[in-house]
């Protein structure tokens, strides 16, 4: 049973910008309020008695505790690296020994001289936080100042990488809000995290992403249920045939010697439009040796780039640093450079390495399934509402 106990906290102090609001929501109503906590790890040669002494108990008290524990767990059986804690909860001392991932021994002080021992299931606590910040210096710097861990920042960048070029497009004043859930074990150790929803405002345009799980797995969708991941066009041209495939080595038809063919040749009539297979930015446009008229597009995810060679001409307006959209015509098939006939030589690179374009697995980026769209809408609405309510101007001004 999950109950909501809301704890609102506005971060304060010079280390965090004023715009940051952290909202913490404990998804477990009975999270005890720990007033103080000491931690001791079992070392080689340790006994429970020695550890309890380090935790501040007298020898006779430690003996009574070990005695009380006997019925449920013998404290002669402790292991190096495992943990004892002494906590004060509601004025009472509680000692835990963490037996394994599932169980812990709990010793509660009944009176000043008697202890009660019990075996407890260990549980996972989840905490949902919302962090909101605007970018003044750099995304990483401002996000870290706002209290976001590196892996949460990276995950958020991944979410929006298909729409925003994080290395080039960010501007001072861009802002983001991210709602994420961290899970902790009962020692307070973080065991996982996930982003539930996020919005990113880039140059005045608001992008949203909502985590949603379907039978296909977990994906992030925009508020309309469209997948945030994009997919590439299957091919950049309408071609008559593939005249040469990707090969690590082959006899070059013009040069005569054997060398690798790091792309695919699509035979097509001169003048056939060539389309960018995905959104991105032109990083090279110009004559490039045997490639002739050549364009390289770096795609928004920052990992992939595609190259288009032997063009007869470029489409109007193509130049370095120009953003192109998926399907946009960037040039026309030709045989410039070293080519025996009109074709498009097409390369696909992943982290700079040429891979076979015909073997690139384009994981389909499907929207939320029709049958689940109502459930998704409810969830998306709820998440966006929670985030909107943490507008610092409205609530914390
Ligand atoms: Zn080729």
Residue carrying the six token digits 């109503």: 29
What is the C-alpha to C-alpha distance for residues 216 and 232, in angstroms, rounded to an integer?
Answer: 19
Question: How far, in Å, are 263, 305, 309 from residue 336 at the CA level?
Answer: 16, 21, 8
Q: Is the pLDDT of residue 225 over 80?
A: yes
Compute, in angstroms, the gap from residue 262 CA to the centroid of ligand 1. Answer: 7
For 92, the token pair is 């009472």
Q: Is the pLDDT of residue 294 over 70?
A: yes
What is the C-alpha to C-alpha distance for residues 319 and 332, in angstroms, rounded to an integer?
Answer: 15
The whole-number average pLDDT for the span 269-286 is: 94
Compute, in angstroms, the gap from residue 365 CA to the centroid of ligand 1. Answer: 29
Question: How far, in Å, are 165, 196, 198 from residue 157 at the CA level?
Answer: 9, 14, 10
Compute, in angstroms, the gap from residue 233 CA to the centroid of ligand 1. Answer: 19
At the top level of CATH, the class of 241-355 is mainly beta
Compute, in angstroms, the gap from residue 301 CA to the centroid of ligand 1. Answer: 25
Position 27 scores a pLDDT of 37
Compute, in angstroms, the gap from residue 321 CA to the centroid of ligand 1. Answer: 25
Compute, in angstroms, the gap from residue 265 CA to the centroid of ligand 1. Answer: 5
Pick the more confident residue, 189 or 326.
326
Compute, in angstroms, the gap from residue 335 CA to the centroid of ligand 1. Answer: 11
Give the containing element (helix H, strand E) for 142. helix 139-145
At the top level of CATH, the class of 1-28+123-229+364-397 is alpha beta
For CATH 3.10.450.350, the residue range(s) in the chain are 1-28+123-229+364-397, 31-121
Q: Is the pLDDT of residue 346 over 60?
A: yes
Q: Is the pLDDT of residue 380 over 90?
A: yes
Compute, in angstroms, the gap from residue 297 CA to the centroid of ligand 1. Answer: 17
Compute, in angstroms, the gap from residue 313 CA to the centroid of ligand 1. Answer: 17
Compute, in angstroms, the gap from residue 89 CA to the centroid of ligand 1. Answer: 71
What is the C-alpha to C-alpha distance for residues 212 and 219, in angstroms, rounded to an integer?
Answer: 6
Compute, in angstroms, the gap from residue 343 CA to the centroid of ligand 1. Answer: 8
Phi, psi angle pair for 129, to nearest 5°: -125, 150
For CATH 2.70.70.10, the residue range(s) in the chain are 241-355
Percent above pLDDT 90 for the chain = 48
Q: Is the pLDDT of residue 15 over 70?
A: no
The whole-number average pLDDT for the span 287-300 is: 94
Compute, in angstroms, the gap from residue 252 CA to the centroid of ligand 1. Answer: 9
Compute, in angstroms, the gap from residue 338 CA to the centroid of ligand 1. Answer: 9
The tens digit of pLDDT for each residue in 143-169 reads 888 888 888 898 898 889 878 877 677
Compute, in angstroms, the gap from residue 339 CA to the centroid of ligand 1. Answer: 8
The total of other beta-carbon atoms located within 10 Å of residue 20's CB is 22
Of 163-177, 245-259, 323-337, the one with minimum mean pLDDT is: 245-259
Compute, in angstroms, the gap from residue 246 CA to the centroid of ligand 1. Answer: 8
Compute, in angstroms, the gap from residue 323 CA to the centroid of ligand 1. Answer: 25
Q: Is the pLDDT of residue 285 over 90?
A: yes
Do residues 176 and 198 make contact, with C-beta atoms less than 8 angstroms apart? yes
The whole-number average pLDDT for the span 339-357 is: 91
Percent above pLDDT 70 for the chain = 85
β-pairing, 313-314 with 5-9?
A: unpaired
Which 8-state DSSP code applies to residue 315? Answer: P
Q: How confident is the model at residue 256 (pLDDT cuts 50, 70, 90)?
A: low
With residues binned 3-state (H G I as helix, E B as strand, rest as coil), the percentages for the chain, rounded to 5, are: 15, 40, 45
Classified as helix, coil or strand, 133 is strand
| Nearby residues of 239 by Cβ (< 8 Å), 6 or more positions away | 266, 267, 268, 272, 343, 344
Do residues 194 and 154 make contact, with C-beta atoms less than 8 angstroms apart? no
Compute, in angstroms, the gap from residue 267 CA to the centroid of ligand 1. Answer: 10
- Give the right CATH number for 31-121 from 3.30.110.40, 3.40.50.410, 3.10.450.350, 3.30.479.30: 3.10.450.350
The whole-number average pLDDT for the span 356-361 is: 82
Do residues 305 and 262 make contact, with C-beta atoms less than 8 angstroms apart? no
For 23, the token pair is 């909202």
Nearest to 32 by CA among 252, 186, 219: 186
Compute, in angstroms, the gap from residue 367 CA to the centroid of ligand 1. Answer: 35
Cα Rg of the chain (Å, integer)? 30
Question: How far, in Å, are 291, 306, 307, 333 from residue 354 at the CA level?
Answer: 15, 9, 10, 21
Position 191 scores a pLDDT of 82
What pTM did the predictor assign? 0.59
Position 341 scores a pLDDT of 93
Compute, in angstroms, the gap from residue 292 CA to the centroid of ligand 1. Answer: 11
Average confidence score pLDDT of the chain = 83
Do residues 291 and 331 make contact, with C-beta atoms less than 8 angstroms apart? no
Compute, in angstroms, the gap from residue 299 CA to the centroid of ligand 1. Answer: 21
Do residues 339 and 294 make contact, with C-beta atoms less than 8 angstroms apart? no
């Amino acid at each position: 049973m999950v109950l909501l106990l809301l704890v609102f906290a506005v971060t304060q102090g010079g280390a965090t910008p004023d715009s940051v609001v952290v909202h913490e929501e404990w998804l477990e109503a009975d999270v005890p309020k720990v007033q103080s906590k000491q931690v001791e790890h079992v070392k080689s040669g340790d006994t429970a008695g020695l550890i309890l002494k380090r935790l501040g108990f007298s020898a006779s008290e430690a003996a009574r505790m070990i005695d009380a524990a006997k019925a449920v767990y013998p404290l002669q059986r402790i292991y190096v690296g495992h943990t004892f804690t002494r906590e004060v909860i509601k004025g009472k001392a509680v000692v835990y020994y963490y037996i394994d991932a599932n169980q812990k021994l709990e010793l509660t002080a009944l009176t000043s001289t008697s202890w009660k021992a019990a075996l407890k299931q260990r549980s996972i606590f989840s905490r949902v936080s919302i962090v909101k910040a605007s970018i003044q210096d750099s995304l990483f710097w401002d996000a870290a100042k706002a209290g976001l861990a590196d892996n949460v920042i990276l995950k958020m960048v991944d979410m929006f990488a298909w729409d925003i070029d994080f290395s080039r497009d960010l501007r001072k004043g861009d802002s983001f809000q991210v709602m994420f859930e961290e899970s902790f074990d009962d020692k307070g150790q973080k065991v996982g995290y996930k982003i539930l929803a996020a919005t990113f405002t880039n140059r005045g345009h608001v992008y949203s992403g909502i985590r949603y799980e379907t039978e296909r797995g977990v994906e992030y969708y925009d508020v309309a249920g469209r997948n945030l991941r994009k997919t590439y066009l299957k091919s950049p041209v309408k071609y008559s045939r593939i005249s040469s495939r990707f090969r690590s080595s082959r006899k070059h038809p013009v040069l005569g010697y054997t060398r690798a063919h790091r792309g695919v040749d699509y035979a097509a009539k001169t003048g056939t439009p060539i389309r960018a297979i995905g959104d991105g930015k032109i990083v090279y446009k110009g004559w490039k040796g045997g490639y002739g008229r050549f364009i390289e597009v770096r795609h928004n995810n920052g990992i992939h780039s595609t190259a288009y060679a032997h063009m007869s001409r470029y489409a109007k307006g193509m130049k370095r640093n120009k953003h192109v959209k998926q399907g946009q015509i960037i040039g026309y098939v030709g045989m410039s450079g070293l080519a025996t006939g009109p074709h498009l030589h097409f390369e696909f690179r992943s982290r700079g390495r040429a891979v076979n374009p015909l073997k690139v697995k384009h994981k389909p980026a499907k929207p939320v399934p029709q049958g689940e769209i109502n459930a998704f809408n409810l969830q998306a609405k709820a998440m966006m509402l929670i985030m909107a309510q943490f507008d610092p101007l409205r609530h914390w001004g």
